[in-house]
Chains A and B, each alone.
Chain A
Amino acid sequence: MELCSFLTLDSFITDPLTHDFMRKALFMSSLVAAVCGFLSSYLTLKGWALMGDAVSHSVMPGVVVAYALGLPFSLGAFIFGVGSVALIGFIKQKSRVKEDTVIGLVFTGFFALGIVLVSKIKSNIDLHSILFGSPLGISLSDVKQTIFISLLVVILLSIFRKDLMLYCFDPRHAKTVGINVFFLHYLLLTCLSLAAVVGLQSVGIILVVAMLITPGATAYLLTDKFDNMTVISVLSAIISSLIGIYVSFWFDLETGGSIVLAQTFIFLFAFLFAPRYGIFKLKKLFAGYK
């Protein structure tokens, strides 16, 4: 009986761990989730959700071209991610079209280019795994790349943690006291492109933006301290990944979708029950009984 295995929590957790691909998937997805969760605090406070969506979709042609040429896919993705941002900035500056329109226009253009390239370039590119992620089928070279990029992003964000917070909060003050705002802007964009690259392996290009905004939004509802927000964001991202992978294993569901759904449920929980900012404001309810 398959159901028997659910009867003990112990086997629910340990059984999947006997599979090599599951251990790898759990580890890699947690790592990716942590990186995206860390960055997520900055993106949600800066109001860059749409930018995250744009960059993550725009990396598509880069991934395809890199695969076709036998290059590391992260390189291609990174070039197109940063390129899309540069193009958005250029079109915005040189035309009267509003920014959100330009962003939507550029990233759908890049995304479409990626899809057309996949259909034209005859290779073993798996469109499904690019679009929806494949944490269970991740290759060894991908593992190395992902670990390297993740560490790089975490180190960069850690070093410039406070400067980036200031940049998100009050760029004018940053500039006035001689902090290089231009550098911080592109640092954040670079980290965004890199995080999108590693994130797409877990949940795919279409859903990677969720990894970049949902944990931050959840944390924002739960705390008024920036450092706590980062910690909560990272933890909720990791927990969502673990839940998503386990659930997808036992119920045979799409893994990327399960991870993002887990994140969404955690957000909804915070949205309803957060002590201060939730719909039901638990703190106030309890205070009323005193």
Chain B
Amino acid sequence: METINYQNFRIEAENICVDYNGKVALYDANLRLKPGQICGLVGMNGAGKTTFFNALTGFVNISKGKIRINGESVRSAQKDQTIAYVPQNEGIDSQFPISVWDVVMMGRYGSMNIFRCPRESDVQAVKDAIERVDLTDHLSTPIGNLSGGQRKRTFLARAIAQRASILLLDEPFSGVDIRTEKLISELFIQFKNEGKTILLSTHDMIHVREFCDLVLLINKTVVAYGETSEVFTPENITTTFGGISPDFLFGPES
């Protein structure tokens, strides 16, 4: 029974702790997500959002707890290309001499041979992904010449080309234009219908209400977790942001 139960969950994080040289960044955090669920990760800067992502991708080691991806270890999830990470625009070097095509092709590296020679199927996957984010006119454009929104879409295309079943998105809506925002929200609906699981961090309360089935409020540990309608209350948000009221943070309309 237990194995079947595991397979029902895409992501299972149990009491995970992460510390950097003794400095605790995240403790006793839990999260369970099923296929087709979109979960918002909300917290202050330094609350452990990026650390949570890093733990799920295996970029940092957890010091306690357990992470299961599709019922297996993080390591085998890496081998199976299960998780795609879409970085914040600030998290990448936009002056790196690399084109849209090359970035999206990096989504295929994990399943290529050691020389990373693209097969026909890889080329097709990259083409399709670029088309889905509407960047076909910019195949060979260096990423430094793209707008913030176009750059965001490039990294989304990389995640699509990877054919991952879990998408982790760090601030997907920050610094993007209206067109990109619309395209991303359409893609979210498609991903949901394809049964992908999405975990996204955001500062924007409106986006949480709009897209997220579930919300995870964190401040070094989980403050609240559950259905957005139940958990995303002013009281919980105030606790998450260290006693500052949501009106003050986001304006009265949220």
CB-CB nearest in chain B for A93: B21
Which of B75, B78, B81, B92 contacts A169, CB < 8 Å? B92
Which of A163, A171, A175 contacts B78, CB < 8 Å? A175
Number of B interface residues at 8 Å Cβ cutoff, please give it.
35
Query: B57, B92, B106: which has the most chain A beta carbons within 10 Å?
Result: B106
Asked if B115 and A162 sit within 8 Å, CB to CB, the answer is: yes
Query: B75, B91, B96: which has the most chain A beta carbons within 10 Å?
Result: B96
Asked if B114 and A166 sit within 8 Å, CB to CB, the answer is: no
How long is the Cα–Cα vector from A172 to B96 in the complex, in angstroms? 16
B103-120 interface with A by 8 A CB criterion:
106-107, 109-111, 114-116
Q: Interface 1/0s, chain A 220-232, versus B by CB < 8 A?
A: 1001111011000
Chain A residues positioned under 8 Å from B59 (CB to CB): 171-172, 175-176
Interface size class of A (residues with CB under 8 A): 20 to 34
Q: How many A-B residue pairs have CB under 8 A?
A: 78
Asked if B79 and A176 sit within 8 Å, CB to CB, the answer is: no
User: Quick one: given A175-B58, A176-B84, A226-B102, are A163 and B109 in contact (CB under 8 Å)?
Assistant: yes
Min CB distance, B63 to chain A, in Å? 15
Extra contacts, 11 of them, besides A165-B98, A169-B96, A175-B78 (Cβ < 8 A), are: A166-B109, A175-B57, A177-B107, A177-B111, A178-B78, A178-B80, A224-B144, A224-B145, A225-B98, A225-B99, A226-B96
- Which residues of B are interface residues toward A (Cβ below 8 A)? 21, 54, 57-59, 75, 78-81, 83-85, 87, 91-93, 96-99, 102, 106-107, 109-111, 114-116, 142, 144-145, 158, 162
- Which residues of A are interface residues toward B (Cβ below 8 A)? 45, 93, 159, 162-163, 165-166, 168-179, 220, 223-226, 228-229
14 CB < 8 A contacts A-B: A45-B93, A163-B116, A165-B98, A170-B106, A171-B59, A175-B78, A176-B57, A176-B83, A177-B162, A178-B81, A224-B99, A225-B97, A225-B98, A225-B142
